[in-house]
Structures are given as structure tokens and as C-alpha cells.
Structure 1
Amino acid sequence: MSPSRGGGWYPPASKPRAVQGGLAARSRRGAISQTWWSERFIAVLEGMGMGSRLQRGKAYARKGQVVSLDIAPGAVDAAVQGSRARPYRVRIGIAAFGKEQWRRVEQHLAENAWYAAKLLAGEMPDDIEELFAAVGLSLFPARANDLTLDCSCPDFAVPCKHLAAVFYLLAEAFDDDPFAILAWRGREREDLLDNVRAARGGVDEAEAADRATPLEDLLDRFYERVAPVHLPAASVAVPTALLDQLPGVDVTVRGASLVDVLRPLYLALGAADDPAEAADPDEPAPSADP
């Protein structure tokens, strides 16, 4: 028997059942979170007074005791294998933002191309918390009562080690995809980016429809001209341009300047090069004989 501090008796601590293929944390020691946004998430939880209790779940997270983890708007649902045959059901709830709240966020994102560029690159802008605060929202939970925590285990502590393990795996999920934070708050990646593009005026209905159309269905239109092509006008050559650039020539032929004598010949040669301007074959060509 195991004595307790008060002289009573408690059964020996049970060991969790081994899990095949569980979701194990990548980190084997030290901090689990790797990016600033997941570090911020853990820091927020520790700031709520959960720090010491969170540590109880770190070993569970690293051993792969979390069987499944699903992130949905307003809730994270997970299964964690403990000492019993059936895994415990874990749920972490948070308020998902409504349509009007997300409209304000998306409008702010659209007004600054830097935010959209960072999100498209799979990164969370460093000051995105300030953006949410500007519209009266908090991206991360601000207070303990912003979260609803539930686990089907008999442990009275909140968070229990099963909930704590899910928190750490959730932080790693945020490392892998910062959009998971936004999805938890109610907006999926594609919906968010589409709405930001639309707010910036960069997506029309035809473009949006094409993005939703499989590539193989667009091949027959691949080489179609989608807009008029404005070609530069053909240059017009003046046959006598060279003569006009000659400096003054003090040569005359029967009283006429050399340039005036040669001009009819240049005009005739220019007309011969241009079928549209070619002289009528029935008409005699101008004579250069003075």
C-alpha cells in the first residue's frame, strides 16, 4: 500500500497504455513550440496560471498518447489514451468570431498588402495581434474563462494531463500551419484569402470560377485570346526621305536641281515596293531621262 501525506491510502499511480501510431510531439526536450505564434499561445496559457499543470501533459505529448486531434471553428476535439482501455475524450472550446467580426478583420488585412503576403507565404505577421485588437478582438484567448476545457477522465484538476497534452500538440499544429489558429477562430485559409482578395478588388467572378475549375477542363480554352491585342501600327516609309536629307548639292541638269531630277525616280521605286501603291502596268513608268 502507498501512504498519503495525510496518513490515508491511495492506490499506486497507474501507467498509461501504450499507443501505436499516436501523435507524438517532435520535441524530445525543452520547449515544444518553435514559432513565435505557438510560443505566444503557450505563454498565454501559462499566464492564466496553467503553467505547472501544463507540465504534467508534456510527457504524454512526447510519448504519443494523443490518439487524434481535430481543429474546427470554436473547438478542438481530441482523444487521449490513458490507463483505461478506452481513450479519454478531450474538448477545448473557444468562441469563434462571427461574419461581421471577420469582415472587419479581412478589411484590415486587405488594406495592407504586407499581411496578405505573409499569410500567403504560410507565416503569421508579427503584429497580427495588434490588427485583431484594432477591431476589438483577441486572436488568442485573453482570460481563462475564454476557454472551456473538458476531459472525460476522473481527474479533478483542470487542466488534467490529458488536456495539457492536447495543448502541446495544438501548439505544434500551429507551428505547422498558422492558419489553424484562424480556423479555430472560425475562418478557413482559402475562405480568408479569397475574402481578402475580393476586398482588395483583385478577384472578379470569372477569375474565381476559373480557380474552381479543374485544369483539364480549361485545356480547350488555353490558347484562346482573352483580350484584344493591340499591335503597333506599321511604319510608313517615305520613298524620298533619303533625298530630303541630302545637303544642298550644287548640281543642275538642264536648269533643274539634281534632287528634283531624281525625285520622280525614287517615287516610282517606292511604289514598286508597295503593291498597294504600285503604278498601273498600263501606264508608262516615269522617265528619268532629262
Structure 2
Amino acid sequence: MNEWRGFPPSAKPIRVEGGIKARSKRGEIAQTWWSRRFIEVLESFGMGGRLQRGKRYARAGQVLSLTLSTSLAIGLVQGSRPEPYRARIAIKAFPAADWERIERALAGQALYAAKLLAGEMPTDIERVFDELGLQLFPTTMRELTMDCSCPDWEIPCKHLAAACYLLAESFDEDPFQILAWRGRGREELLDGLRALRGNVSASAAEEPDDAAPLSECLGTFWTAPESPAASATPAPEPTPPDALLDELEPLPVKIQGESAVEFLRPAYRAMARTDRPPQ
């Protein structure tokens, strides 16, 4: 009778040269907020323990290639068998109508548009998607499809986990990879934002409807503006030169039988005539 000695030890992976190695040698692999967010999402689905198994593969360079296109990331991972395993990570892309809404929302916010045009991912870009009833990152496991050609039935296996970590590092290098995964490539998105921002600027710079075209006012374009028309209200009468005397209290003084005020009045009027410039 043969004695059962348990499962055979797992075979070691075939070492490869020239594979894709994770830049991080220890600790966390994802560095930017958006790549960490991707890993956090996967861990929230209960994949944390299984993901860790792929770190050694990712750091050892066992992933031969990793390609990303609309909805699909595919990694070729060298395991213990001569034929590399094919690990696929798929997500649903947003349709064109949703991307039109997304682009309009991003273009309407100058800060978002400026950061994206500069190659940066705005820190609260998820809020834009949320307000449109969309999610940039998956919220349930049902939104992701993962499979691998290896015989391991667990999801993710170490080959898928290694591909996930290197996918996160590709997001570190280029945040537009996340948007491309969701269906909008870098150049297509930026061209759309430039066009929409250009329309906004053009609308702001439009002349008022009642402004005359330049071709109709060339004759007066370089002339000084006309002074405002004179007021139709007649100018007030000049103050009489002897008006000050009328403001004085009656003086108890008479000169040659006449009040001092009346005696001085001709003198004030004479001085006013003397001050006038010659005609």
C-alpha cells in the first residue's frame, strides 16, 4: 500500500532574460495616486492576499510583455512551463456618447483641461465622472474580467497579479493609459479638449451684436472721439461783483448822507470792469 505524501511541491518558474521588471524593489509598487487607487480597488474586492503572490513575479521580470488597448490589458507571463501564460484583464469601455459628455465636462473646467493638456491627472477627476453617473475605476468585481491560461483556478493567480502590478506601474508612467483603457486614447482626448476650449475662448471673444464692422468705420477709426454735445441748459448768469455787499448786515455808517454799502457799490462794479481782459 502506497502512503500519500501530499501534493507535489510547486515547480519554480523558468527564469527569463529581458522581461519587464517592476521599478519598485520593496514595499508598494504603485507610486502615484491614480495607480495606488487602482490597486486599492482590486484589494477592496478581496484580492489583497492573492495579489501579493504576483509581486515576486513582477519584480523578477517574469512578465515578458504587457499591452493595453481599449478595454483590454494582456500580459504574457513566464511560469514553470515552457509556453508563457496569457493573462487578460478586461474592463468595459465607455461608449462614444459618454466620452462626449466627459470631454465637455472636463473642457468646461479650466483647471482640469490645463492639467490634462500638461500631461497630469487632476486629483479629483473621479468627481467629474461621478457627476455624470460614471466611474473611472471599477466599483464591483463584475466590472472586471480576468482570466489566465494557467491551470490555477484562483482569480487572480500569480500571473494575473504580476500583470496587475505592472499595469499599475504603466499608469504611473502615463496616466492617460487609464483613460485609454476606458476607451479614449491620449491624442484623441487632448484634440477634443483643445477644440472645445477653443470654442469657449472664441465665444468669449465675440464682438457685441450692435458693434459696426471695421470695414464700415475705417474713415473715422483713427480720429479722436467727438466731445459730448453741449448741454441744452443755459449757463447760469455771472455773479454780480457787488453781491458781497448784499450779504453784509446794514452798516450804521453814512457817507455824505448815503449808507456806506450804497456808497461802496459803484466802486465794486468799477473794479470788476477793470479786471476784464481787453476785447
TM-score (norm 2): 0.70
Counterpart code for 2:95 = G
The correspondence for 1:50, drawn from 35, 39, 47, is 47
Bigger radius of gyration = 2
CA drift at 1:201? 2.9
CA 1:202/1:20 → structure 2, altered by over 3 Å: closer, same or farther? farther
| Unaligned stretches of 5+ residues in structure 1 | 204-229, 234-290
1:158 aligns with 2:146: no
Number of matched pairs: 204
User: Residues of 1 paired with 2:11 and 2:199: CA distance?
Assistant: 59
What is the identity percentage for the equivalent residue pairs of Structure 1 and Structure 2? 61
Partner of 2:97: 100
User: Residues of 2 paired with 1:67 and 1:138: CA distance?
Assistant: 31
User: Residues of 2 paired with 1:28 and 1:140: CA distance?
Assistant: 26
Partner of 1:123: 120
- Taking only aligned residues, the RMSD between alpha carbons, in angstroms, comes to 2.1
1:146 aligns with 2:143: yes
CA drift at 1:156? 1.0
- 2:22 counterpart SS class: coil
1:188 aligns with 2:185: yes
TM-score (norm 1): 0.67
CA drift at 1:157? 0.8
Counterpart code for 1:59 = R
User: Residues of 2 paired with 1:93 and 1:44: CA distance?
Assistant: 14
1:6-155 to structure 2, matched below 5 A, reads: 9-155=6-152
CA drift at 1:9? 2.0
Counterpart code for 2:102 = V
1:175-231 Cα deviation digits (max 9, x unpaired): 00000000000000110011112222359xxxxxxxxxxxxxxxxxxxxxxxxxx9x
- 1:23 counterpart SS class: coil
CA drift at 1:113? 1.3
- 1:92 counterpart SS class: strand
User: Residues of 2 paired with 1:123 and 1:46: CA distance?
Assistant: 25
1:229-268 to structure 2, matched below 5 A, reads: none
CA drift at 1:8? 5.2
User: Residues of 1 paired with 2:199 and 2:185: CA distance?
Assistant: 19
Partner of 1:281: none
After the TM superposition, list the runs of 4 or more consecutive aligned residues in structure 1 that deviate by more than 3 angstroms: none
